[in-house]
Amino acid sequence: MTVHDQPVAETPDPREFGLSVLPEHEIPSELTALVADVRALVDAVAHTEAGPEDLAEARASVAAATERISGTRRETGALMEQTRPDGTAEYGTLTNVVSGVTNPASPPLQLERSGDGLRAEITLNGVYQGPPGLVHGGWIAAILDQALGGAASAAGMPGMTANLDVNYRSPTPLHAPLEVTARVTGTERRKVFVSGEVRHNGTVTAEGTALMVRFDASG
Ligand SMILES: CCCCCCCCCCCC(=O)SCCNC(=O)CCNC(=O)[C@H](O)C(C)(C)COP(=O)(O)OP(=O)(O)OC[C@H]1O[C@@H](n2cnc3c(N)ncnc32)[C@H](O)[C@@H]1OP(=O)(O)O
> pLDDT of 68-122, one tens digit each?
999 999 999 999 998 877 888 888 999 999 999 999 999 999 999 999 999 999 9
> pLDDT of 35-53, one tens digit each?
999 999 999 999 999 999 9
Q: For residue 186, is pLDDT > 90?
A: yes
Q: What is the pLDDT of residue 30?
A: 98
Q: What is the pLDDT of residue 4?
A: 44
Determine which residue's CA is closest to atom 24 belonging to ligand 1. Answer: 160
Q: Is 158 in the pocket of ligand 1 (CB under 6 A)?
A: yes
Atom of ligand 1 nearest to the CA of 160: 14
Q: What is the pLDDT of residue 6?
A: 45
Q: What is the pLDDT of residue 1?
A: 53
Determine which residue's CA is closest to atom 43 belonging to ligand 1. Answer: 191
Average pLDDT in the chain:
93
pTM for this entry: 0.94
Atom of ligand 1 nearest to the CA of 216: 33
Q: Which residue, among 135, 155, 147, has the nearest Cα to 90 in the 3D structure? A: 155
Cα(194) to ligand 1 centroid in Å equals 13
Q: Is 55 in the pocket of ligand 1 (CB under 6 A)?
A: no
Cα(49) to ligand 1 centroid in Å equals 45
* Average confidence (pLDDT) over 56-71: 97
ipTM summary value: 0.95
Q: Is 97 in the pocket of ligand 1 (CB under 6 A)?
A: no
* Average confidence (pLDDT) over 172-177: 98
Q: Which residue, among 114, 190, 105, 179, has the nearest Cα to 140 in the 3D structure? A: 179
In a 13 Å sphere around the CA of 89, the CA atoms on its Cβ side amount to 15
Q: What is the pLDDT of residue 85?
A: 79
Q: How confident is the model at residue 219 (pLDDT cuts 50, 70, 90)?
A: low
Q: For residue 5, is pLDDT > 90?
A: no
144 CB burial (10 A radius; 0-12, 13-18, 19+): buried
Q: What is the pLDDT of residue 17?
A: 82
For the ranges 5-14, 81-90, 111-120, 139-148, which has the lowest average pLDDT? 5-14
Number of other residues whose CB lies within 10 A of the CB of residue 117: 22
* Average confidence (pLDDT) over 187-200: 98
Q: How confident is the model at residue 157 (pLDDT cuts 50, 70, 90)?
A: very high
**Is the separation of the CB atoms in 195 and 180 below 8 Å?**
no
Ligand 1 pocket test, pick from 101, 213, 216, 218 with the greatest ligand atom count within 8 Å of Cβ, gives 213
In a 13 Å sphere around the CA of 18, the CA atoms on its Cβ side amount to 0
